[in-house]
Amino acid sequence: MYHRTMAPNSRVNPVTVVGASIIVATAAVGTLAGVELGVLSLQAAVPGVIGAGLIAYGWFRADGVVGSKRWTVLKWTVAGLLAFTVLGAWFGEMAARPETSISLSITGSLSVGAALGTVIGVYAARIRRTNELLAETVTELEAANDRLERKNEQLDQFVDIASHDLRNPVNVAQGRLEIAREEFDSEHLETTDDALTRMNTLINDLVSLTKAGDQIEEVVPVDLGAVSRSAWGSVETKDASLTVETDGDIYADESRLRQVLENLFRNAIQHGGEDVTVTVGLLAEGFYVQDTGAGIPDDLRGQVLEDGVTTGGDGVGLGLSIVEQIATAHGWKIAVEQSAEGGARFEFVGVKSPE
């Protein structure tokens, strides 16, 4: 069933409707009462002013809450109407009896007004205190956000400096290693080269881990197959092989997508063996990367994307964490499954593609 609703910021809201109703009702009752104009003006002054005030408030000051919570407003309007109907009948009855005291009737009227004002005052005090607490919370959150921004800036500076200072000695060591290879041959040189290569990879992972989450630049249609082959060429694949089962496009930051694929390819080769086969393909709403390796144990599938979690080998558990950060920055979700061959399968969902 279709229900017509008031726009959140509409000037036609419960407050203006009630105000207009008061004026209309006062005019109708005054006309039917048949009293003199002077008496009518005197008796209609208060409800007329109240009605006009409500219309003005609803027209100029009422916010979206009034429109969206109109039934709450109208419920309390009806409750107030019923309450004062009873009080009005009582006051009318008292005024009609010649033996009653006008002073007591006035006292009763004043007591109702005082009680109503007290209740409104209590709620006003509560609302004021709530607003004060909200203001304090906002101030604290703004201060915490400023501190967080400063810490992030310091972290970025630290990473830049640390990576530069770490790369310099590694580069020097690699240069010396090449000279040593020209002078003599030793199995220790190969071990040293592996260690230096691993050090470079670790430095790159640390830099990516701190910056991957907030550096999604331009999201454009990207050829998943072409980027997969390019990323494969950047990884030391040994005897491993790549199968691309797609020629479709997806929306992504190409450089970040390439980084995702490179990390997944390295992970597959590191944990799946030098002759592992890696496959990339499209899903209905995303894509997948799977391998023919040993797979990921069931108890680690829910944790493998976290920092420092590894299934063994020489890794330190940063590569898949970087993958998760980049996917999150794109708005993608990752499901870690088992491939048909028993290896690892990473499914990326929520990925948009050109129509």
CB count in 10 Å sphere of residue 51? 22
Q: Is the pLDDT of residue 228 over 90?
A: yes
Q: What is the C-alpha to C-alpha distance for residues 289 and 240, in angstroms, rounded to an integer?
A: 14
**Can you tell me the distance from the alpha carbon of 206 to that of 301, in angstroms, rounded to the nearest whole number?**
22
Q: Which of 34, 69, 100 lies at the terminal end of a domain, its last residue?
A: 100
Mean pLDDT taken over the chain: 80
Among candidate residues 175, 190, 211, the one where a domain is terminated: 211
Last residue of a domain, one of 156, 184, 211: 211
- On whether both 273 and 326 belong to a single domain, the answer is yes
- Domain match, 170 and 257 both: no
- Between 87-91, 149-153, 178-182, 299-303, the lowest mean confidence (pLDDT) is in 299-303
244 in the same domain as 340 = yes
Query: What per-residue confidence (pLDDT) applies to 212?
Result: 55
What is the number of structural domains in the chain? 3
- Show the domain range for 304: 218-349
Q: Are 42 and 34 in contact (CB under 8 A)?
A: no
Instruction: Please report, for the domain that includes residue 345, its CATH number.
Output: 3.30.565.10
Rounded CA gap, 115 and 80, in Å?
A: 13
Neighbours of 15 (CB within 10 A): 23
E strand or H helix at 333? strand 333-338
Q: What is the per-residue pLDDT across 2-27, written as a single tens digit (0 to 9) for each?
A: 444 444 455 667 788 888 888 898 88
Residue 208 or residue 232, greater confidence:
232
Q: CA dist 347 to 281, 323, 336, Å?
A: 10, 12, 7
Q: Provide the residue type at 11 as one letter.
A: R
The pLDDT value recorded for residue 1 is 40
Is residue 315 domain-shared with residue 250, that is, in the same domain?
yes
Other CB atoms closer than 10 Å to residue 321's CB: what's the count? Answer: 21
Q: How would residue 67 be classed by pLDDT, with cut points 50, 70 and 90? A: low
Given a contact cutoff of 8 angstroms between Cβ atoms, the answer to whether 350 and 333 are in contact is: yes
Cα separation, 11 vs 60, in Å, equals: 7
Residues 177 and 241 both lie in one domain: no
In this structure, the answer to whether residues 223 and 332 fall within a common structural domain is yes
Instruction: Please indicate, yes or no, whether the overall pTM of this predicted structure exceeds 0.85.
Output: no
Task: Provide, rounded to the nearest whole percent, the portion of the chain with pLDDT above 70.
Answer: 84
28-45 burial, b if ≥16 CB within 10 A, otherwise e? eebeeeeeeeeebeeebe
- Judge whether 259 and 240 are in contact, CB under 8 Å: no
Answer whether residue 202 is part of any domain: yes
Residue 250: strand pairing partners: 222
Instruction: Classify residue 281 by its DSSP letter.
Output: E
